[in-house]
Structure 1
Amino acid sequence: MRSVWWAVLFAVGGASAVQAQQPDAPARARAPVAELRVAPNLQIHRNVNEDDMSAFLVADKMETDENDKIILTGSAQVRRIDSIVKGDHIDYERSTGQVHVRGNGLILRDASVIKGPKLTYNVDSETGQISDPNFWLGATGGAGTATQADIYSRDHMRLSDVTYSGCPCPDPSWYIESPQVDLHFDDNEGIARHGVLYFKDVPILYSPWLSFPIKKERKSGFLLPTYGTSSSGGFELTLPYYFNIAPNYDATITPRYMAKRGMQLGAEFRYLGEGYSGQVYGTYLTNDQVADRKRWYYAFQHAHSLGGGVNASFDIRRVSDDDYFRDFSSFGLNEASYTYLPSSAGLTWSGAKYFSTSLYAYSYQTLQDRTSSYLLPQYDKLPELYVRGARYNWGGFDVQSDNYATRFVMPKFKYNTHDYPGPVGLEPYQSYDGTRFSSYTSVAYPIVRAGWYVTPKVGVHMSQYNMDWHGFSQPFVAATGPQSKTQSRVLPIMSLDTGMTFERDASLFGNDSIQTLEPRLYYLRVPYRDQSELPIFDTYYADFNFAQAFDENVFSGGWDRIADADQLTVGLTTRWLDAGSGFERLSLSAAQRIYFRDQLVTLYPGDKGRTDTKSDYLVGAAAALTDTLSVRFGAQFNPESRDRNRMTAGFRWVPKRLATISASYRYKRDPVQITDPFVVYGPGYIDNSQEQVSVASQWPLTNKIYALGRYDYSLQEKRGTQSILGLEYRGDCCWTARVVMQRYAVSREKANTAMFFQLELSGLGSLGTDPMRLLRERISGYETITPPVPEKTTFERYE
């Protein structure tokens, strides 16, 4: 019996089935048991010749008549290496290969079981019939019944009046009925005609013709539709179609109907080869009924290993207009907040022991918000060459060299959303571009001992700028621009980093603990160089935090500015660790910089330099007060003015599974106010400080109903920026229902509201828009209320 027709899978739209318990299994078999593991000596016998298969006959009584027919009576069995046939009475005609089974007929193969009161099968022609079959699938877990199964060949079987469910409950919550199902096993294709999906005995989905995979392998066909509604698009319905082109190629076509905007067509193509992979995705709307124009988006990613340590990749993304993501953002995703859409392409090489290099080009599409201020586009890098050399513990020394050659191109102003905000005299389509060469080589000598370390480090940073002007009759001079076409800078950077770790036995909340005391000193010396004539391509003020407090520059990015420094950073951390497990119960940290002279280098000419002798205080605390409650706090505040410049705080309480409450507070002062507190009194000043409160929770209301939600409120803007509210209902078996509403800001003055319903049927899939990504990303600690379904194996019903 070479056929595998009894490995039946009846599902909708490529849905996967789950384990099904046989109806006549004893009650103890359905009790929770330890998870089975596949023993390594269990293996499937494939491509075994029929002549090499021995048949073993078992019965209470065994006879042979005058026609050479073997008659097995009473607990009859025919066992081979690939299958088992059972029945009360079995007649086997050796001359024709015909097998007749009467009474409790059963066939077991590949962990799949088919039962019927009688069956007829020819082992030579591999044809036959089974009356009133019941089937259980080992590898896929589905179960069902039919009035008759007609076996036409090894590859083709037809089931009549089929009822199928992937739900393992004795009384399945969902099932599918179809008058006729044809199974083509070689093609891994099942075709159901006039299939109806029932939920709680109520029909909820009908399809006149349905193609689905028989096994777990991919199969071309329609996927489950998704639907929802939003204030931007109105009622939405998508019906994806999946193309299984080849084992390493596939594609999905996704029509998306939006009542307000029209029909959008989306497509995705994925490929995987020897040493390369990638995907292409795009959408196209011929005419947006709201915006009265065509709208589109495409993305193309590719990665390729060329051998010899050389790799190539590119990531290209573009949209038709600034408002695309605000209007077409997928539900639950934060695409509406995109401001820069990056594209890149390049090569990397890491074939040498101490050297590596890369050559990349970067381009950015800036998405403007017409209701907010103009967003200055980023410079394109066309291209950027990076060469790195590093060797550690070279006679005790660590040597590292980072070298860049970057061609910067200013995007030409062409937006019609804002007036050009640039310097006086700079008009649209005028720009200044440039090439920056930079090299930073450093040598460190770490001395590390038990309980302490000292790391002296010396480096030299060299830069050169060559500028070009476009659209000008003479060189452009402005506050942010160069005064000559060629500029250079050489700066030594010296630092000394040292720290110690002390430990002692202690007690915390009555529990034995180990307390550590970890002081750290970091001295930095950088001489002053006038850098006011150097252009600024990709440099900005870095946030002051614990990591940056021990860094070599207060500016971040490409280091178009390197701050002069003569300063000492003092840090102290103490931790309480469980004596037995080492789990960190409490940590307290503090740090501050001490300046020995004023800072002269600023980001832009006219900016006010630092004159304080001490920096803001940095403090942080994190504590696991109990096994279920944790808190955290961090702040940056000015010790003289007592102003807080940054603050974060929050807690999370998880008293039990599927129950969590968390809250957080975030504040960040406008960086311009930190450097110049009096800027708030200047004409036309806009405060860009950020202050927000967030609350999120998942909580059981009953043993079946769960509430979930999140609310973000901007204290600075005095409005809610995001609201999520939902209910989940866990059914008795195999189903879960969800209703979720989300309202989120898509611009400074505009918000979108969306709502959807989802019915999740275990072993089949989900009807409606899938909210799981949204819930996991936005609700800290969220857990799905649907219990996991264990994977089935071929040996699940091994005898």
Structure 2
Amino acid sequence: MTPRPLPPRRLLAVAAALALFGAPLEVDASTASAGAAPADATTTCPLGSFHCPSRPISYAMCRPNALLGFYDPSLPRDSALRDSADTNVDAERVDSSNQTLYKLSGDVRMQRADQLLRADRVDYNDQTTDYDARGNVRYQDAGQLFSADRLRGNNQAKRGVADNVTYQLLESRGNGVARKANLLDAQHSRYEDVTYSTCDVGHRLWEVRAHKLTLNRDTGVGVAKGATMRFANVPFLYLPYLSFPIDDRRKSGFLAPTFGNSSHSGFMASVPYYLNLAPNYDATLEPRLYSSRGVMLGGQFRYLLPGTRGQFDFEYINKDHGENLAKSGLTTQGRQRYLYKFSDSTALWPGWNFSTSVNRVSDKNYLRDFSNDLYTTAVNSIASNAYVRGSGNWWSASLGVDSYQNTDPFLTDSSLQYKRWPRATFNLDVPLADWLEFGMDNEAVAFRKDGVVEGKRADLYPYLAADWQGAAWFVRPKLAYRYTAYQLDDYYSLYGYGGRLGANQVSPFTARSPSRALPIASLDTGLIFDRSASLFGNSYTQTLEPRLYYLYVPYRNQDNLPLFDTRLLSFDYWQLFSPNQYSGADRQMNANNLTGALTTRLLDDNGVERFSASFGQIRYFNPQRVKLPGQPVTDWTGSDYVAQASIQLNDQWRASSSYQWSPNTRKTDLGTLELQRRIRSDGILNFSYRFRRVPGSINTLLEQYDASTVYPVSERWRLLARWTYSVKDRRTVEALAGLQYESCCVIVSLVGRHYVNQYDITATRPPTNNAIMFELQFKGLGAFNGQAEDFLRRGILGYQ
């Protein structure tokens, strides 16, 4: 088996070499002959998408290059035809007084395969095949156009030398000038005193200049000597020697440098070096300099083998010169600090695979000190895991471990989840008939955590489910049995739910091997009615879908069971049809409930849902007796009334909302509103409001406003903004403002951000950070720092 190549890395593109055979710019014959640049198609991101793809690079704002005025689209595009092709010559006048030297003048045209030479005068030696073209020299082949003062060459040797060249590339947007161009053959060329840019001729915002440039299409390698990159005619990067790829083949070399600034680490400069070690593995070394902390070495190693692929990332600083974080109690100054991440996915045998993700930092404050302040929000913990997984037609199984590390300097390790060390699952879903299936959801876990009760848990959940349905109805009964057993470790009686007990406190864990067993029965039924309807002159199909869901679970006292991984789930519309309001297996709610719900939809002629609204409530025939510690005891006859709706009648705007009102507290428990409006083809406006009350309480858990926009002021300018405000905390959680400028060949982004990055439980108000990022993208060369683009795509819904 031949291993697949690793994904190519973007290398630092320098000089005309990169453009000569870079990203293709398809030249349409109709537009090229007219001297117009081809337009780029714009892909619009659907409304409501969480993440949108990057906009394709567009050269629609570029002016037509005058060189395209003599482009001939009828020429062949295959340079290999030159060896067998004849040379055809046309001219207004021919002087053949010398039998071997022909002097051609007046609109001379010489063509061989994909090569076309036009000039005012051409001297051609019939015996040596030497030629000398002068006056309005224009040359075209499969890859480029150029004009020159003079072009001398030899047809048989396939060589040519041009003076004072102005070129336009046909396979990319690149253009520029060179004092001398040496056309060695169809695959090799060399340039002297050359420039390259994708900008308009005569309007170069950026440009690369090199003393010498050599291109080798056979190997896909370009070598530039004395390369200088300029922006607004100001040089900002010089490299005396650079070897780099000119196609998709990977090549060792320097990557784009990055520069940044952080209030925690100061100014940062990084110049990565890429190592193309083999077709199936590579590495990157990234030395960094932090002005406030010292020198760091980062790196990455990737591999791809038959049936396996993986990646290892690391960062290491031998001695941190930065100050310790006040109030955290951490000592980092003068110490070694590191981060490493390892991921692997390996196919073991048919149906089975091994996957792992290991993440580790040297201390709790590492991510705060060395993460980029523009892109990173608060991270309280990082997870590591390793699993062997298998599956078949009717089964799946896994065996592995989960571990967590605290990365918040203001939180103790008691805030972490339990380690699952190890964890095994086995699930079945066996069809017994077209309408009947037998299944099992089984889990066995050993929970580990210092300072609290530890133990093992087995959870067995077999069920029998039927599904009868027609075009306008369904009936789905389900009968299950849940058995959960524990084996607590020694000294279990010394602990409570929150940790070790104090004097005169009594443990809730009365047995070392407690268990719980109970049946779970449910019946889910519904009807679907439809009719034709019209709205705003459009025809739709309207549905009316009543639904009843009955759930019965007998009560079992579970106060003597530990809480390893169980939390109360947020109540929403889908909780109306859930058999348990708790995550994990430590608590199973009791129920004698009936849910009634009603949904209506509007479907257009293509079956696309344009509007939907749902309303429902659970009626409790028995009290809810299973509770978590601290959860208020209630004896309600009904749950919250739950309503939700969404509408998108066209491609320009959409809205969605949800609402929960408690008839027991006479309070609103949840309210959300989301609006999204498209502004022309590349703009978006978002607004959302979120309110949630503490379950069973009158206290507010969350109330926030969130607004964001990408507003196109003109074809070239866009404004960016996001604002998140917490009503409960009476403060701005995040504020972002920026602008983007796009021209023919440059995209400039300037973004500022103010945000809460960590929650110091000892502080009255959580600490905030301010960050500024300037990003400059040269079209055709890639971005010097593309992370701001990724952040904006995540932070602003619908950003492109």
Is there any run of 5+ residues in structure 2 with no aligned partner, and where? 1-13, 42-74, 325-332, 499-507, 760-765
| Residue 182 (structure 1) shift | 3.2
Task: Tell me, yes or no, if the aligned pair for 1:539 and 1:561 is still in contact at 8 Å.
Answer: yes
Q: Structure 1 residues 105 and 703, CA, compared in 2 at 3 Å: closer, same or farther? A: closer
- Report matched runs for 1:270-281 at 5 Å: 270-281=302-313
Aligned partners of 1:228 and 1:768 also within 8 Å: no
Q: What corresponds to 1:735 in structure 2?
A: 746
Question: Relative to 1, partners in 2 of residues 1:750 and 1:43: Cα closer, same or farther, differing over 3 Å?
Answer: farther
Structure 1 Cα separation of the partners of residues 780 and 348 of structure 2:
42
Match of 1:716 in 2: 728
Cα distance in 2 for partners of 1:255, 1:249 equals 20
Are the counterparts in 2 of residues 228 and 769 from structure 1 also a CA contact under 8 Å?
no
1:78 touches 1:84 (CA, 8 Å); kept in 2?
A: yes
Structure 2 counterpart of 1:683: none
Question: Which one of the candidate residues 635, 640, 644 is aligned to 1:620?
Answer: 644
* Amino acid of the structure 2 residue aligned with 1:546: Y
Within 5 A, what are the aligned runs for 1:552-591?
552-557=579-584, 559-578=585-604, 580-591=605-616
Relative distance call for 1:524 and 1:716 in structure 2 (3 A) is same
In the other structure, the counterpart of 2:658 is 634
* Residue of structure 2 in register with 1:467 after alignment: 488
SS in 2 for 1:353: coil
How far is 1:201 from its partner?
Answer: 3.5
Measured in 2, the distance between the counterparts of 1:730 and 1:154 equals: 36
Identity of aligned residues (%): 33
- 1:386 counterpart residue number: 425
How far, CA to CA, are the matches of 2:438 and 2:76 in structure 1?
54
Alignment match, 1:356: 396
Match of 2:782 in 1: 765
- Give the match for residue 319 of structure 1: 361
* 2:355 maps to 1:307: no
Residue 550 (structure 2) pairs with residue 538 (structure 1):
no
Judge which range, 758-767 or 524-533, deviates more. 758-767
Give 3-state SS (helix, strand or coil) of 1:30's partner: coil
Q: Which residues in structure 2 correspond to 1:233-272 (within 5 Å)? A: 233-272=265-304
How far apart, CA to CA, are the structure 1 residues paired with 2:249 and 2:94? 42
SS at match of 1:547: helix
Q: Is the 8 A contact 1:652 1:663 kept in 2?
A: yes
Amino acid paired to 1:318: R
CA distance in 2 between counterparts of 1:649 and 1:227 reads: 39
Which letter does structure 2 place at the counterpart of 1:10? Answer: A
Paired position in structure 1 for 2:496: 478
Aligned residue identity for 1:243: L
Instruction: Count residues in correspondence.
Output: 726
Q: Deviations over 1:735-759 (max 9, x none)?
A: 2322110111111221111112222
Change (3 A) 1:76 1:151: closer
Return the alpha-carbon distance in structure 1 between the equivalents of residues 126 and 18 of structure 2: 41
* Partner residue of 1:603 out of 616, 624, 628: 628
My pick for the range that moved more, 383-392 or 563-572, is 383-392
Is contact 2:19–2:173 with CA below 8 Å preserved after alignment? Answer: no
Decide which of 86, 89, 95 is 1:55's aligned counterpart.
Answer: 86
Structure 2: distance between partners of 1:20 and 1:460: 63
The answer for the alignment partner of 2:675 in structure 1 is: 651
Task: Output the CA distance in 1 between the equivalents of 2:715 and 2:97.
Answer: 64
| Closer, same or farther: CA 226–487 of 1 in aligned 2, 3 Å | same
SS of equivalent residue, structure 2 residue 367 = helix
Determine helix, strand or coil for the equivalent of 1:548: helix
Q: Tell me the equivalent position of 2:384.
A: 343
**Aligned counterparts of 2:475 and 2:691: Cα–Cα separation in 1:** 35
CA shift, 1:705, in A, is 3.2
For residue 665 of structure 2, give the secondary structure of its aligned residue in structure 1. coil
- Picking from 683, 699, 707, the partner of 2:719 is 707
Secondary structure in structure 1 of the residue aligned to 2:489: strand
1:4-153 aligned at under 5 Å gives the runs 10=16, 19=25, 28-30=34-36, 53-60=84-91, 75-80=108-113, 98=130, 100-102=132-134, 108-122=140-154, 128-150=160-182
* RMSD over equivalenced CA pairs, Å: 3.6
For 2:666 and 2:590, locate their aligned partners in 1 and report how far apart those are by CA, in whole Å: 26
1:719 CA displacement: 1.8
Aligned to 2:792: 775
Matched, 1:401 2:437: no
Deviation at 1:622, TM superposition (A): 1.9
Give TM-score scaled by structure 1 length.
0.82
- Is 1:458 equivalent to 2:491 in the alignment? no
What's 1:751 paired with? 768
CA contact (8 A) 2:108 2:118 kept: yes
Note the alpha carbon deviations across 1:81-140, whole angstroms, 9 max, x for none: x75566566666687665555555555444333443443445666655332333333333
Cα contact 1:9–1:137 (8 A) shared by 2: no
Cα deviation for residue 465 of structure 1 reads 1.7
Q: How far off its partner does 1:600 sit? A: 2.4
- With over 3 angstroms needed to count, the CA separation of the structure-2 counterparts of 1:220 and 1:13, relative to structure 1, is farther
Q: In the alignment, which of 231, 255, 259 is matched to residue 227 of structure 1?
A: 259
State the Cα deviation string for residues 177-201 of structure 1 (Å, max 9, x = none): 2222233444433333333333343
Q: Which runs of 5+ in 1 are unaligned?
A: 1-7, 36-41, 413-427, 681-686, 784-799
The aligned runs of 1:171-250 (5 Å cut-off) are 171-250=203-282
Question: Would the aligned equivalents of 2:287 and 2:295 in 1 still touch at CA under 8 Å?
Answer: yes
Q: Deviations along 1:658-704, whole A, 9 cap, x unmatched?
A: 43322211122234xx2xx4xx8xxxxxx782222111122234554
Q: Residue 623 of structure 2: SS of its match in structure 1?
A: coil
Describe the SS at the equivalent of 1:549. helix
SS of the aligned residue for 1:10 comes to: helix
CA distance in 2, matches of 1:57, 1:260: 69
Q: Aligned partners of 1:452, 1:20: CA distance in 2, in Å?
A: 54
Q: Output one character per residue of 1:220-269: Cα deviation in whole Å (capped at 9) or x when no partner.
A: 32233333333223333333333333333333333333333333332122
Instruction: Report the residue type matching 1:312 in the other structure.
Output: F
How much has 1:649 moved relative to structure 2? 1.5
Q: Secondary structure of 2:627's partner?
A: coil
Shift of 1:21: 8.9
Normalised by the length of structure 2, the TM-score is: 0.82
Query: Does structure 1 conserve the Cα–Cα contact (< 8 Å) formed by 2:375 and 2:787?
Result: no
Shift of 1:275: 2.3
Mapped partners of 2:589, 2:20: distance in 1: 60
Between 1:649-658 and 1:519-528, the stretch displaced more is 649-658
Going from structure 1 to structure 2, the CA distance change for 1:307 and 1:96 (only over 3 Å counts) comes to farther
Shift in CA distance, 775/512, structure 1 to aligned 2, threshold 3 Å: same
Partner Cα distance (1:313, 1:65) in 2:
80
SS in 2 for 1:147: strand
Shift of 1:324: 1.9
Amino acid at match of 1:194: G
Candidates 553, 561, 577, aligned match of 1:550: 577
Q: Shift in Å at residue 516 of structure 1?
A: 1.6
Between the aligned partners of 2:197 and 2:338, the Cα distance in structure 1 is 40
Contact 2:365 2:409 in 1 (8 A): yes
C-alpha contact (below 8 Å) 1:62/1:71 kept by paired residues: yes
In structure 2, the residue matched to 1:448 is: 469
Letter in 2 for 1:760: Q
Could you tell me whether the CA contact under 8 Å between 1:224 and 1:767 is conserved in 2?
yes
Match of 2:58 in 1: none
Tell me the alpha carbon deviations over residues 554-604 of structure 1, each in whole angstroms, 9 at most, x when there is no partner.
1112x12111111111111112334x4444443221111011101222234
